[in-house]
Amino acid sequence: MPLTFPMALTWLRILMIPLVLALFFLPESWMNIHSRDVLACGAFIVAAITDWFDGWLARRWNQTSAFGAFLDPVADKLMVSAALLVLVDLGRVGFVIAFIIIGREIAISALREWMAQMGASSSVAVNWLGKFKTAAQMLAIPCLLYWEPYEGIPVGTIGQVLIIIAAILTVWSMCYYLKKAWPEIARKS
């Protein structure tokens, strides 16, 4: 498997995860909290942009691969999960919200794998609801990482509202995927 530019962007996103996490373990004597939050927010935004850009480039340049199709959502889930765990530790996201989002990602990933083994992967293909859920997460998390008001805009509060919306969309999309998969599950169980 050759390393294409889109695949390199996916790997870059995965490699950025420990770097973002490491920012939160630096002593305040090395970097103040505001600088840490700004850098973490910026790194997450770069990673989120590569999440969109690598897939777009792979399709445009006809460099899609089965491994890339596997690795891209894994990188996305790792990035979101790591950020949510940091945000729980900082007290910016509640444990229940993080559990809902991370738990759904694990459950739906397992469901997709199971449905693929049954030859029914199209019944749990990504739809608009999953895309809205991802968009809400990708907007909420940078706001929660940045946290402080910016030019009078309550960034942290906006992030908290968006993460609640993301959690609602998370549950809704999980129910949608389970409903779509249920006939196949019932038929083959």
What CATH number does residue 123 fall under? 1.20.120.1760
**What pLDDT digit, counting tens, does each position of 3-16 carry?**
899 999 999 999 99
pLDDT at residue number 171: 95
Please give the full DSSP string across 24-86, using - where no structure is assigned.
TTS-TTTS-HHHHHHHHHHHHHHHHHHHHHHHHHHHHTT---HHHHHHHHHHHHHHHHHHHHH
Q: 153 has which bridge partners? A: 150
CA distances from 12 to 48, 57, 76 (A): 11, 15, 12
Q: How confident is the model at residue 65 (pLDDT cuts 50, 70, 90)?
A: confident
User: Any idea which residue has 């409903």 for tokens?
Assistant: 179
Domain that holds residue 157: 5-188
Over residues 28-36, mean pLDDT: 93
**pTM as predicted:** 0.90
189 pLDDT exceeds 70? no
- Domain total of the chain: 1
Beta bridge mates, 150? 153
Residue 160 has pLDDT above 70, yes or no: yes
Confidence of residue 28 (pLDDT cuts 50, 70, 90): confident
* Look-up of token digits 């249920």: 182
As a whole number of angstroms, the distance between CA 184 and CA 57 comes to 34
The pLDDT of residue 30 is 93
Buried/exposed code over 81-90 (b: 16+ C-beta within 10 A; e: otherwise): bbbbbbbbee
- pLDDT, one tens digit per residue, over 77-119 is 999 999 999 999 999 999 999 999 999 999 988 888 888 787 7
